Amino acid sequence: MIVVGVLAPGAATAVSAIARRAVASADSRVEVVGLAPAGADGDRLLLELASAGVGHATVTRSAAATIEPADLELALRYLPDVRVVVLVAPEAALLRTAASGSSWSDAALVLVGP
C-alpha cells in the first residue's frame, strides 16, 4: 500500500494515522509518498513513521505545499508491487497521475478528504 500526502502541520496527522492503521491491519508493506518539512519537525515525523513500520523511501524533504505529479509518477514506478494507492487530501493535479499509475499496476485507488 502507498499512502500519498504532505507531511505538514494538519495533514501529517491524517497521512500518519492512515499509514499506521494500514500497517496494523495488513500483512504487507506500507510506504508513504510525499513531502516532509526539513529540520527537526520533519525528522520527528519520519522517525515516528519508521518506528510504526511505515516506509518513507519516497518522501522528499521540502517546504513545498504540494507534491509534483512527476514525483508521484516516479514513486509509483519505483514501487511497482503496490495493490492500493491512498491519496490524502490530494491536489487535483495528482488525481490523473494516481489513476494512471494505479491502473497499470492494477491497484485500487482510494481518495481521503476533499
pLDDT by position in tens, the chain (length 114): 778 777 765 556 677 778 877 777 766 788 888 888 888 888 888 888 888 888 887 888 888 878 889 988 888 888 778 788 888 888 888 889 998 888 877 888 888 876
CB neighbours (10 Å) of residue 25? 9
DSSP string for 48-104? HHHHTT-EEEEEEE-S-SS--HHHHHHHHHHSTT-SEEEEES--HHHHHHHHHHHHH
Whole-prediction pTM value? Answer: 0.81
Contacts (Cβ under 8 Å, ≥6 apart) of 78: 57, 58
Handedness of CA 82, 25, 109, 37 (dihedral sign): negative
